[in-house]
Amino acid sequence: MFFGLLGYGRIHHDGKFVAIDHGKQLVSVWNTSAATEIVAFSMLADVVKMAFSPGGELFASGDARGGVMVWQTDGIYLATACSQ
């Protein structure tokens, strides 16, 4: 995890992807080698967790209300779950 002017982020262990929490529930996922944004989306509450799968094919983010969104790192939306 890193902190910077854009908010905080998570870098996949091989450096291929980076996810950024821009604040105000906005998250974006980037392909670092192509320097392109793969997907940007909003959560229902403040983002508290972000993680990539070990192989880098999935990305998940969790919010303060217990919501979770899962995406493929090619930008395909998979699921949303909420504990409330």
pLDDT digits (tens, 9 = 90+) for 38-49: 999 999 999 999
Give the separation between CA 41 and CA 43, rounded to whole angstroms. 7
Give the pLDDT score at 21: 93
**What CATH number has the domain bearing residue 69?**
2.40.10.480
The total number of structural domains that make up the chain: 1
Mean pLDDT of 4-32: 86
Residue 24 reports pLDDT greater than 90: no
pLDDT band for position 6 (50/70/90)? Answer: low
pLDDT band for position 2 (50/70/90)? Answer: very low
Instruction: Please list the helix, strand and coil fractions of the chain in percent, rounded to the nearest 5, in that order.
Output: 0, 60, 40
Q: pTM to 2 decimals?
A: 0.84
Give the separation between CA 47 and CA 67, rounded to whole angstroms. 9
End-to-end CA distance of the chain: 27
